[in-house]
Amino acid sequence: MAIHDVNPTLLIERAAQELKKDATFKAPVWAKFVKTGMSRERSPMQPDWWHIREAAVMRKIFLLGPIGTSKLRVKFGGRKNEGMAPEHVYMSAGNHLRKMLQQLEKAGFAKQTQKGVHKGRVLTRKGQAFLEKIATDLLKEQGITFAPKAEKPKAAEKTAEAGEVKVKKPRAPRKKKEVEVPATPQVTDAK
């Protein structure tokens, strides 16, 4: 899969540009003023931070799914600078992550599921195809191509000219070397 092979930052930026074009992924009015977590001092400075975070959430769902809001809060959380006091780790805010998950579900990129005891959202085929297309485009721009995996040769192979079947001969078992072990002298107690 090309998603694992491409630089995550480039993938997220390109996916954010594509998500901007879709009307389903629109930032709420309050998104301009809200901090993304307790560990942040200010609200995000980038005007398109919503789409960037949405692309990052989409990638996390692909990698870790099924995943819910609480696990995403941990992943996007951070350390708060407490000045002279020791730093503490805080989880990210949850409302914007929940809204993003709902938008991804509404667009058909994610769906709720349960695997064993883990429940949360996973990417649908549409969502995986979306990320895969962006990743392969990035790899093509970088000049990286993937050759298809070569199949392992089989025991019986047909030759094209004669239509004969060549059978590989099984390897003869190796002969074990016999090593002579010197006899140990027996010790007897002399009383």
For domain 8-141, the CATH class is mainly alpha
Residue-range domain boundaries for the chain: 8-141
SS3 content of the chain, % helix, strand, coil (to 5): 35, 15, 50
pLDDT band at 142 (very low <50, low <70, confident <90, very high): confident
Residue 160 has pLDDT above 60, yes or no: no
106-134 pLDDT, tens per residue? 999 999 888 877 888 999 999 999 999 99
* CA–CA distance, 67 with 102 (Å, rounded to integer): 13
Question: DSSP labels for 99-149?
Answer: HHHHHHHHHTSEEEEEETTEEEEEE-HHHHHHHHHHHHHHHHHTT---PPP
* CA–CA distance, 41 with 37 (Å, rounded to integer): 9
Residue with tokens 């979306």: 130
* CA–CA distance, 9 with 18 (Å, rounded to integer): 14
The whole-model pTM stands at 0.70
pLDDT at 16: 92
* Closest to 58 in 3D by CA, of 70, 49, 67: 67
pLDDT at 24: 85
For 2, other C-beta atoms within 10 Å of its C-beta total 18
CA dihedral (151, 125, 128, 140) positive or negative? positive
Tokens describing residue 42: 């200010």
38-77 pLDDT, tens per residue? 888 788 888 888 899 999 999 999 998 788 888 888 888 8
How high does pLDDT run on average in the chain?
Answer: 82
* CA–CA distance, 129 with 108 (Å, rounded to integer): 12
pLDDT band at 165 (very low <50, low <70, confident <90, very high): low
Give the residue with greater pLDDT, 76 vs 164: 76
Give the residue with greater pLDDT, 163 vs 170: 170
* CA–CA distance, 52 with 17 (Å, rounded to integer): 8
Residue 35 has pLDDT above 80, yes or no: yes
